[in-house]
Structure 1
Amino acid sequence: MLEIFLKTLPFFLLIGTGWLAGKTGFFPAQATAWLTKFVFYFALSAMLFRFAATLDIDELFDPGFVLAYLTGSLALWALAFAVAKWRRLPLDQAAMEAHVAMTGNTGFLGVPMLVVLLGPAAIGPVLMVLTIDLVVFSTLVTLLITVARQGRITLSTLIPLARGIVANPMIVSMVAGLIWAKLHIPMPAPLGEFLALLGAAATPGALFAIGASLAERSAERLGPAIWLSTAKLVLHPLLVAATALLIFGLEPYAAGVMIAAASLPVAGNVYILAQHFGVAAHRVSAAILISTAASIATVPAVIHWITKG
């Protein structure tokens, strides 16, 4: 356990460094926004493209893997939604809480950290989890909030939603990399070195940006935020483990990567979504802050359990 903790510690120290820089005002909110944009559009996209371009696309898509992750995540989504409705929250807030409970920081934290900790073979499963979160669950919460606001779904609603998914740089870079892999195009050495150099900035940049953005978060609405953080850090990996290992019988390594991805704290982009729609922004902000702080202890515990079989 101590060995795993020490391996994950540098990642969380980078987050802590960003938080300290943001909290002291040395790294202002405007700088955080521009660093996040650089990581999102350039460094992380280069990393994802390079990773995807090296995959065997014929072996990447595993229906059992997709169904196992969807089943476990949807079970948690339904539970969080039911708890929110039991608390008599309106549809839009219930949908947002359900989204918070199962959307992990796979892009900015999971991709760089899990590939290092679990090995290069983790690339495919991590990218699959990231794609499901971005396409399936982001679409689901957007549609439910739209129904809550407008009472129905129209073509004018679906077009911007589809455009947002297609234009997401993480999806674009992964799809472009997979097409490159499918066509078996050789990677020119200068291009490979360029992508490796730019992609190397993704890990420190993303982790520093996560920490700096946490400096702006407030710990309001602690009760719901603690519940959502517990659901994300504890219930999500447990439910995914149950569906992956007990129901679908996935091979241990792929199941382990999926469980590790499910154990990640709440994603920062959920706050952007909550702020955009004006739904439970303070609750989401507090859940991101609490889950990220608590994940310093919970993520190493999950990875220790995975790596020790």
Structure 2
Amino acid sequence: MWDIFLKTLPFFMLIGLGYGAARTKFFSEEATAYLTKFVFYFALSAMLFRFSANLSLGAIFDWSFVLAYLTGTLAVYLTATAVAMRRGIPVTEAAVEAQCATIGNVGFLGIPMLVLLLGETAIGPIMMVLAVDLIVFGSLIVILITGARDGRMSPKILVTVAVGLIKNPMIVSISLGLLVSAFALPVPVPINEFLTLLGNAATPGALFAIGASLASKSAERVAVAAWLSLCKLVLHPVAVAIAALLVFNVPPAMAGVMIAAAALPVAGNVYIIAQHYRVAPSRASAAILLSTAASIVTVSVTIAWVTTYLR
């Protein structure tokens, strides 16, 4: 456990460095926005393309894995939604809370950290988790918020969802990489080295950007944020573990990656969606802040368990 904590600590130290730089105003909000854009559209996309270009579709897609992750995630999603509705809040706010309870920071934190700690065999499973989060739950929140406001489903909502997916650089880079792999297209050495160099900037850039973005987050409505953090850091990995190991019999190594990914703190893009639709942004902000702080311990515990018993 202590060894794993020491291995994860540098990742959170980078997050802390970004937080300190932004908190002291050395790094402005505008600088954070541009760094995040660089990581999202360039560095992380280069890393994902290079990873997926060297994988076969069979290595990145497994039905039992996807169904296990979907089942465990939906269980927590519905639990968070039920609790939110019980408190009498609107469907739109319940959708944001459910998103906080289930969508982790797989892109910016999970990919660089889990690949390093769990090995390159973790790449395929992590990409499956990322794809489910982006395609299924990223679409679901838009459908729920837009549908609740309009009072009905319309083709316009589906068009909005489709355009959002097509414009997402993570989806595009993974898809292009898999096409290169499927057709066995050679990647010229200079291009591969360029992608490696650019992709290497993703890890420090992403972690620094996470910390810098947290500096502008508030911890309002702490009780709700604490509940959502509990869902994300504890209930989600437990539900996914039950689904993977006891229901769908996912191979232990793949199940371990799934569980570790489920234990990640709330994703920053949940706040972006909440802010965009003006639905409970302060609640999402607080959940991101609290879950990221607590994950210094909980993620280490989860990875220690995964590497001890499932690898």
- Distance between the aligned counterparts of 1:50 and 1:194, measured in 2? 10
- Distance between the aligned counterparts of 1:136 and 1:160, measured in 2? 14
Moved more, 283-292 or 90-99: 90-99
- Distance between the aligned counterparts of 1:136 and 1:74, measured in 2? 10
Q: Which residue of 1 is the match for residue 307 of structure 2?
A: 307
Task: Confirm or deny that 1:44 pairs with 2:41.
Answer: no
Q: Which residue of 1 is the match for residue 197 of structure 2?
A: 197
- The answer to whether the 8 A contact 2:101-2:266 is kept is yes
Question: Deviation per CA, 1:12-42, whole angstroms, max 9, x where unpaired?
Answer: 0000000000000000100000000000000
Amino acid at match of 1:216: S
Amino acid at match of 1:122: A
Q: Which residue of 1 is the match for residue 136 of structure 2?
A: 136
Gaps of 5+ in 2: none
Q: Helix, strand or coil: the match of 1:51?
A: helix
- Distance between the aligned counterparts of 2:202 and 2:60, measured in 1? 23
Q: Which residue of 1 is the match for residue 250 of structure 2?
A: 250
Question: Deviation per CA, 1:140-186, whole angstroms, max 9, x where unpaired?
Answer: 11111112100012112221221011110000000000111111112
- Distance between the aligned counterparts of 1:180 and 1:138, measured in 2? 26
- Distance between the aligned counterparts of 2:58 and 2:134, measured in 1? 22
Q: Which residue of 1 is the match for residue 167 of structure 2?
A: 167
Gaps of 5+ in 1: none
- Aligned-pair identity (%): 61
In the TM superposition, residue 58 of structure 1 has moved relative to its aligned partner by 2.7
Q: Which residue of 1 is the match for residue 24 of structure 2?
A: 24
Q: Which residue of 1 is the match for residue 237 of structure 2?
A: 237
Q: Which residue of 1 is the match for residue 178 of structure 2?
A: 178
- Distance between the aligned counterparts of 2:97 and 2:214, measured in 1? 19
Amino acid at match of 1:153: M
- The answer to whether the 8 A contact 2:220-2:286 is kept is yes
In the TM superposition, residue 59 of structure 1 has moved relative to its aligned partner by 3.3
- Distance between the aligned counterparts of 2:131 and 2:257, measured in 1? 14
Q: Which residue of 1 is the match for residue 155 of structure 2?
A: 155
- Distance between the aligned counterparts of 1:114 and 1:15, measured in 2? 16
In the TM superposition, residue 230 of structure 1 has moved relative to its aligned partner by 0.6
Over the aligned positions, Cα root-mean-square deviation in angstroms equals: 0.6
Q: Helix, strand or coil: the match of 2:234?
A: helix
In the TM superposition, residue 11 of structure 1 has moved relative to its aligned partner by 0.4
Q: Which residue of 1 is the match for residue 292 of structure 2?
A: 292
- Distance between the aligned counterparts of 2:261 and 2:69, measured in 1? 10
TM-score (norm 2): 0.98
Amino acid at match of 2:148: A
- The answer to whether the 8 A contact 2:147-2:157 is kept is no
The total of aligned residue pairs comes to 309
Amino acid at match of 1:83: V
Q: Which residue of 2 is the match for residue 265 of structure 1?
A: 265
In the TM superposition, residue 96 of structure 1 has moved relative to its aligned partner by 1.0
Q: Which residue of 2 is the match for residue 107 of structure 1?
A: 107
TM-score (norm 1): 0.99
- The answer to whether the 8 A contact 2:229-2:265 is kept is yes
- The answer to whether the 8 A contact 2:147-2:153 is kept is yes
Question: Deviation per CA, 1:230-267, whole angstroms, max 9, x where unpaired?
Answer: 10000000000000000011110000000000000000
Q: Which residue of 1 is the match for residue 123 of structure 2?
A: 123
Amino acid at match of 1:212: A
Q: Helix, strand or coil: the match of 2:266?
A: coil
